[in-house]
């Protein structure tokens, strides 16, 4: 079962990765049969809503770890009514908390530049060859490692920190199916206290002295 087929099934049904894998397993990797299986289970219904405009929503702020990490996230939905529901607010809170804990860099894979992806692929291939793996299987190993890379940096592909049996994308898709409106994470910003600031010279000197003294 290839990731390309899983991705195609997700795009056509809006179902989560685990549901897509199960559908393909149950239908011998037949894409059309898997789509029918998901529809029969009611899992594909979120796909009908995915093209509808989501112009309402909220910008939510989350502060974690005594003020050392902060997150702003914009989640959109279709109506102001849904914005005020407890279910939508809980979803947004969960997503913000996840961003604080998991530190994604982009919302979706499409936000990564072709250059960034190509650079990461070259790094992973160099690592594989350095490990002594044969050239003829290097690309397959790199494909697997690129999948792990996307899981690390892409919000929607990360395993949800409160339940690693689903991704954040699955969480969102399930909420769309349950609430009945299209919803999207549009953007986010994550702030870490002191990140990017240079340490004072005296602090650095103290650390060097501590290391030197054992």
Q: In sequence order, what DSSP letters do the residues of 113-180 get, joined into one string?
A: -HHHHHHHHHHHHHHHHHTT--HHHHHHHHHHHHHHHHHHHBGGGSEETTEEEEEHHHHHHHHHHHH-
pLDDT, position 55: 76
Give the pLDDT band of residue 12 (cuts 50, 70, 90).
Answer: confident
3-state secondary structure at position 85 = coil
More confident residue, 162 or 202: 162
Q: Structural domains in the chain? A: 1-50 (1.10.8.10)
What are the angstrom distances between the C-alpha of 209 and each of 140, 198, 199, 206, 213? Answer: 47, 18, 15, 5, 6
pLDDT, position 203: 60
d(CA 72, CA 3): 31
d(CA 190, CA 196): 13
pLDDT, position 10: 77
* pTM score, whole prediction: 0.67
Q: In this structure, what token pair is assigned to residue 198?
A: 């240079």
Cα Rg, the chain, nearest whole Å: 21
């Amino acid at each position: 079962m290839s990731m390309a087929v899983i991705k195609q099934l997700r795009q056509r049904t809006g179902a989560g990765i685990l549901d897509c894998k199960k559908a393909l397993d149950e239908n011998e990797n037949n894409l059309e049969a898997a789509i029918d299986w998901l529809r029969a289970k009611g899992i594909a219904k979120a796909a009908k809503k995915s093209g509808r405009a989501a112009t309402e929503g909220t910008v939510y702020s989350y502060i974690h770890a005594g003020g050392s990490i902060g997150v702003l996230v914009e989640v959109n939905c279709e109506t102001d009514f849904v914005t005020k529901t407890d279910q939508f607010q809980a979803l947004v809170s969960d997503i913000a908390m996840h961003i604080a804990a998991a530190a994604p860099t982009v919302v979706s894979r499409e936000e990564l530049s072709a250059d960034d992806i190509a650079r990461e692929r070259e790094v992973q291939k160099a690592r594989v060859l350095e490990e002594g793996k044969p050239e003829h299987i290097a690309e397959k190993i790199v494909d697997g490692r690129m999948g792990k890379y996307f899981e690390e940096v892409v919000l929607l592909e990360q395993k949800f920190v409160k339940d690693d049996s689903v991704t954040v994308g699955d969480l969102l898709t399930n909420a769309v199916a349950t609430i009945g409106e299209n919803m999207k994470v549009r953007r986010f910003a994550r702030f870490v206290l002191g990140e990017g600031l240079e340490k004072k010279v005296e602090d650095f000197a103290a650390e060097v002295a501590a290391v030197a003294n054992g």
